[in-house]
Amino acid sequence: MRVITKVKEMQKVADELRKEGKIIGVVPTMGYLHEGHLSLIRIAKEKSDVVITTIFVNPLQFAPNEDYDKYPRDLERDVKLAQSAGCDIIFHPSVEEMYPENFLTYVEVEKLTKVLEGEFRPTHFRGVTTVVAKLFNITKPHIAVFGQKDAQQALIIKQMVRDLNFDIEIIVAPIVRESDGLAMSSRNVYLSESERKDATVLYQSLKLAEKLIEESERNSGVIISKMEELIKSKPTAKIDYIAIVDPNTLEKVENLSEGKEYLIALAVRIGSTRLIDNTLVKI
Ligand code: AMP
Going by CA atoms, what residue is nearest to atom 22 of ligand 1?
147
- Phi/psi of residue 236, each to 5°? -85, -5
Q: Are 186 and 34 in contact (CB under 8 A)?
A: yes
Q: How far is the centre of ligand 1, averaged over its atoms, from the C-alpha of 9 (Å)?
A: 26
In sequence order, which residues have a C-beta less than 8 Å from that of residue 260 and are 6 or more positions away? 282, 283
Ligand 1 pocket: which of 27, 39, 40 to mutate (most atoms within 8 A of CB): 40
User: What pLDDT is recorded for position 181?
Assistant: 98
User: What pLDDT is recorded for position 188?
Assistant: 98
DSSP code at position 44: H
The region that residue 248 occupies, defined by phi over 0 for left and psi between -120 and 50 for alpha, beta otherwise, is: alpha
User: What pLDDT is recorded for position 214?
Assistant: 98
Cα distance between residue 118 and residue 272, in whole Å: 19
**Among this protein's residues, is 37 annotated catalytic?**
yes
Pairing type for strands 50-55 and 89-91 reads parallel
User: What pLDDT is recorded for position 222?
Assistant: 98
User: What pLDDT is recorded for position 65?
Assistant: 94
DSSP code at position 219: B
Segments of the chain with pLDDT less than 50: none
Ligand 1 lined by 157 (C-beta under 6 Å): no
User: What pLDDT is recorded for position 46?
Assistant: 98
User: What pLDDT is recorded for position 143?
Assistant: 98
Q: Is 28 exposed, middle or buried (0-12, 13-18, 19+ CB in 10 A)?
A: buried
Q: Is 8 exposed, middle or buried (0-12, 13-18, 19+ CB in 10 A)?
A: exposed
Q: 34, 37, 124, 142: which one is catalytic?
A: 37
DSSP, collapsed to helix, strand or coil, labels residue 120 as helix
Ligand 1 lined by 61 (C-beta under 6 Å): no
Cα distance between residue 208 and residue 55, in whole Å: 35
Ligand 1 lined by 30 (C-beta under 6 Å): yes
From the CB of residue 196, how many other CB atoms can be counted at a distance below 10 Å? 17
* Radius of gyration, CA atoms only, the chain: 19
Ligand 1 lined by 185 (C-beta under 6 Å): yes
**Sign of the dihedral through C-alpha 186, 159, 92, 61:** negative
Ligand 1 lined by 43 (C-beta under 6 Å): no
